[in-house]
Amino acid sequence: MSTSIAIVGVPVDLGAGRRGVDMGPSAVRYAGLKNRLMRLGHPVRDAGNISVPGLDELPLPDANEKLRYLEPIASMCRTLAKITRGCMVQGEFPLVIGGDHSYAIGSVSGVAAALAPKREKLGLIWLDAHADFNTAETTPSGNIHGMSLAALCGHGHKSLTRVIDDLDPAVDEHNCVIIGARDLDDGERRLLRQFGVHVFTMHDLDRRGMADVMTDALLFAGNGTHGIHLSLDLDSLDPAEAPGVGTPVPGGLTYREAHLACEMAFQHGSLVSMDLVECNPILDQHNKTAQLGVELICSALGQSIY
């Protein structure tokens, strides 16, 4: 079945600790994203990039700041939420490419806001080496890309938890699933356990395999929800597969594990939107990571081996 897809680029690196991820949307487009999706039979509209101020345009934050670049990130998320909500209302699948993971606060909130008038909920699968479940009280860095999932679950600064239509929280913790975690801060661990987020670490994947883990993830994210958003951080993969990320962590997903997760998300039939985040072409090798990102998007949108 064909799906009308709207590609939205978010050239943001304000939430990250290393430069370069703002060029991710260009790298992913250069890797042939639109044409690959069209070859799968999908109508595709490239909506271009949203406007995001660059780091050089902003004053440097204080070294001890616990919410670095809060206002421009919150503003960006508000803009993006309106766009993804609009895509959903028009019957389009929002495919958002970035850019650091802070923008998922906006992309996911907009999709959830589109469902809210019908009292429908959104499930969320977070493929990531990190939990991104810090708040200003727990963060060791102040980087907001490490707070995005917590904000979506209603924990953190109100500028981040409520970016559209007073929707707070955007998603229920019990419908959130993290897959591939292997680098968690102590404060995150406490919050994740306290609020009941489903976390599948690399230990779980090693013991059970991706197929079993993804089956459970789709069950949890789909329980009582209208659809599922897939937020795919490329650092969920092992750095040997995806070198072009800002926060690489050894021991990540293999090429086939990542594809299987995306293929199973498509086969489940509940995917309504998707992010591809943290592609950093400055750190990449011959655009390898962006090309892999395009392949994974295609798997999530219907490409199969046979």
- Do residues 122 and 173 touch, judged by C-beta distance below 8 A? no
Q: Which helix (H) or strand (E) holds 160?
A: helix 158-161
Q: Which tokens is 135 given?
A: 């708040």
**What residues act catalytically?**
101, 128, 130, 132, 145, 233, 235, 278
pLDDT band at 166 (very low <50, low <70, confident <90, very high): confident
Q: Are 4 and 87 spatial neighbours (Cβ–Cβ below 8 Å)?
A: no
The model's confidence at residue 1, banded by pLDDT at 50, 70 and 90, is confident
State pLDDT tens for residues 91-122: 999 999 999 999 999 999 999 999 999 999 99
Distance CA 241, CA 267 (A): 24
The pLDDT, as a whole number, for residue 8 is: 98
Over residues 37-47, the mean pLDDT reads 98
Q: How far apart are CA 232 and CA 28, in angstroms?
A: 14
* Cα(19)–Cα(204) distance, integer angstroms: 32
At residue 62, the pLDDT reads 86
Tell me: pLDDT of 60 over 80.
yes
Domain residue limits, the chain: 5-300
- Strands lying side by side in the sheet with 44-49: 44-49, 5-10, 93-98, 271-277, 227-233, 122-127, 176-181, 198-201
Q: Are 302 and 266 in contact (CB under 8 A)?
A: yes
- Residue 146 pLDDT grade (very low, low, confident, very high; cuts 50, 70, 90): very high
Quick one: which of 273, 192, 269, 268 has its CA closest to 232?
Answer: 273
Residue spans of beta strands (DSSP E) within 120-191: 122-127, 176-181
CB atoms within 10 A of CB 53: 14
Q: Are 12 and 102 in contact (CB under 8 A)?
A: yes
In the chain, the DSSP E strands lie at: 5-10, 44-49, 93-98, 122-127, 176-181, 198-201, 227-233, 271-277
**Mean pLDDT (whole number) for 66-88:** 98
Nearest to 143 by CA among 24, 39, 15, 37: 15
pLDDT(126) > 90: yes
**With respect to CATH, is domain 5-300 assigned 3.40.50.300?**
no
* Mean pLDDT across the chain: 97
What would the pLDDT profile of 212-222 be if each residue is shown by its tens digit? Answer: 999 999 999 99
N residues, the chain = 306
